[in-house]
Each structure stands twice: as structure tokens, then as C-alpha cells.
Chain A
Amino acid sequence: MDDKQEPKGIVLTEAQKKSRRERSIAIALALGVLVALFFAVTMVKGPAVLVRPM
């Protein structure tokens, strides 16, 4: 019996791994900006953040 196992499933190429990592970092940064934005506006508005027109 052969001990070597064939890789199962999809194996990403280096280019695919690199672009996936790039996209993951971009998504993380975008989420970070969104969190920072909500935090900053909450600090600026104070309790008034709960009072919204309409």
C-alpha cells in the first residue's frame, strides 16, 4: 500500500493564495475603518447618537 496520499480537494496555486490574502487584508482594513467610524461618531455625538431625525 502506498503511504503517499494524493492531495484531496482544491489546491490553490501561489497566485491564488496571494490574491486571497490580499483580499482578506483589504476586507479586514475596511471592517476596521467601519468600526473606527462608528466609534468616532459615537464619541462626537455623545448621547445624541441615539437621537436621529426621521
Chain B
Amino acid sequence: MSIVDHQFDLAAPRISEAGVADYLALLKPRVMSLVVFTALVGLAIAPGHFHPVLAFTSILCIAVGAGASGALNMWYESDIDALMSRTANRPIPRGRVTRPEAATFGVTLAFFSVLTLGILVNWYAGALLAFTIFFYVVVYTMALKRWTAQNIVIGGAAGALPPVVAWVAATGSLSAEPVLLFLIIFFWTPPHFWALALFRNDDYARAGVPMLPVVAGPHATRLQILLYTIVLVAVAAAPWPLGYFDAVYGIASLLLGAGMLWLAIDVYRHREGAAASRGTKKLFAFSIFYLFALFATLLIEVLVRAIAPWVG
């Protein structure tokens, strides 16, 4: 007779079938592409010569740091991701990757991106990248997102920091231009995400995320979108009269700003039915184009200035 006469029913260890594509999905590639692009602009407008190898290293580290933030965000939010149709197909809710695997992946990438940027480029940039990851994961994801309707307003700072990190990587210092880029992305974030939240309102309500339309209602959100868009257009145009960016940028910012403002007014005016839904979707789509085109203008100007002496 054995002392222990019952069998322990030990569950078989889980063997992962997650492929590379699942881990790439954890990096939020679409968000990462915008981060890389804005960082590239921050790097391009920075004064002085920056060796291409160091520039590549900086952009790679910023991209990997952004990916790490995405993985850690998915690790923490897997419960609400499973409840929302937009996020239910992410690797953790689908059962492709476990939460500990995502957390390990995220922490490893965060560690190596910060360390590599610090060692190979400079420690100011490394520290700022570490702060950006911390802000996105701890301040936005863990603290703000489930607590306040101002989650994406304050949390937007994390998404606005990549061009600043890139500038600091190139120069080792901080000045007005990257701060202006930061402010543009910071004030762009609320209209962009609240437009999304308006047509994904049911998703956020089901998951219990206190987005502004869920907490304050769609009418208040439409007003806030309009107010933030007015501030955004002013902030985006300001570098021209202040003398930081030239007239080409200034005119582009006013034209693109007019488009943003037109759509924000449309969202404010049409509050019911198909026209309201169409308006929010249009604003969401245009806001992505707006930021891309605004930053592309700066990038093209830098390229034109660089090529001009060769062309004659």
C-alpha cells in the first residue's frame, strides 16, 4: 500500500506553436511604422552630420523599443483585448502566445533596445527611450487606460516622444524643434483616437474601458474633437511664423489643417445616423494621412536641401 494512494493529475506542459508572425504581431507593426516615420523626421531635421550607421542604429532601437511597448501592452490588456472585436484576433486572445511569453518577449526587447541605444549612440537617448517605454506601459496601459477618460490625452505623450528620442540621439541635446514635433503629435492624438472610439463605442463599453464617448457620451466627445483639432491646427502651423520651419511647411500645415478642421466640424454637426458614422470614419482615416503628410513635408524639404547642391 502506498502512502499516497491518489494520482496527481498533472497537466501536460504547454508547448508553444507560435510562429514568427505571431511574435511580429505582438510588436504592433502599424503603430511601429508611424513611430519609425516620425523618428526618421526627428533625425532628418536635426542639425549637424550624423553617420548613417548611427542613424540606422537609432531608428532600429526606437522601432524595437516601440515594439516592446506594444508587446507589453498586449500582455497587460489581454483580458480586454479578448472582449473587443478590433483586438480579439491578437496573438494572446487567440491562444497563439501566452501572457508570460509576451511579457518575456516585451521585457527582453525593451532591455536590449535601451541598452543598445545607450551604448552605441548616447545615454541621453537611451534614457529617454526607457522613459518612453515606461510611460506607455506603466503610466498609460497600467494606470490611465482603465481609470480615466483622459487616458489617451496624457498617454499620447508616449506616442509623441519618438522624434524627440531621435533628435537627442543625433545631437545629444534638446531644443525647440523636437518639442514642436512632440506637441503636434500630442495634440493630434485625441481627435485621432476619439474618432476611432466613436465608431468603436460598443467595443470599449463592453470591455469597460472609460474612453470619452463611453464616459461623457458622443456629443461631448464630438465637441472635444473639434476643440483639440483647433489647437492642433494652430500648434502645427506655429513653427512657421516662429521661424523654425519655412513657408513650404507652413502652407502645407495650413492646407492639411483645413482638411482636419473641415472633417472635425462635419463630425460635430452630424450626430446621428449613417452620416455621423461616415464622418467619424473619414476623420479617423484623414488624421493618419494628416500626420504622415505633415511630417513627410519636413522630410522632403530636408531631402531637397541635401540634393540641391548636387543638382546645381
- A residues at B contact (CB < 8 Å): 10, 12-13, 15-16, 18-20, 22-23, 26, 34, 37-38, 40-41, 44, 52-54
Contact = CB atoms under 8 A, between A and B. Distances in A.
A16 B122 contact: no
B18 to A, nearest CB: 6
B16 A19 contact: yes
B123 interface: yes
A18 B167 CA distance: 42
Contacts of B15: 10, 12-13, 16
Nearest to B120: A41
B311 interface: no
Contact of B123 (A20, A23, A52): A52
B123 A53 contact: yes
Nearest to B51: A44
Interface stretch (B53-61, B137-145, B179-187, B191-199): B53-61
A34 B19 CA distance: 21
Contacts of B54: 41, 44
Nearest to A21: B19
Interface of B: 12-13, 15-20, 23, 51, 53-54, 57, 60, 112, 116, 119-120, 122-124, 172
A10 B12 contact: yes
The 10 closest A-B pairs by CB, nearest first: A54-B123, A41-B120, A44-B53, A26-B20, A19-B17, A16-B15, A19-B19, A40-B53, A22-B19, A22-B20
Nearest to A11: B15
A12 B14 CA distance: 11
Contacts of A38: 120
Contacts of A54: 122-124
A16 B12 CA distance: 14
Contacts of A53: 122-124, 172
A10 B53 contact: no
A39 B15 CA distance: 36
B116 A16 contact: no
Given A15-B17, A18-B19, 6 more contacts: A19-B16, A22-B20, A23-B16, A23-B23, A34-B116, A41-B54
A38 to B, nearest CB: 7
26 contacts: A10-B13, A12-B15, A13-B15, A16-B17, A18-B19, A19-B16, A19-B18, A19-B19, A22-B20, A23-B16, A23-B19, A34-B112, A34-B116, A37-B116, A41-B53, A41-B54, A41-B57, A41-B120, A44-B51, A44-B54, A52-B122, A53-B122, A53-B123, A53-B124, A54-B122, A54-B124
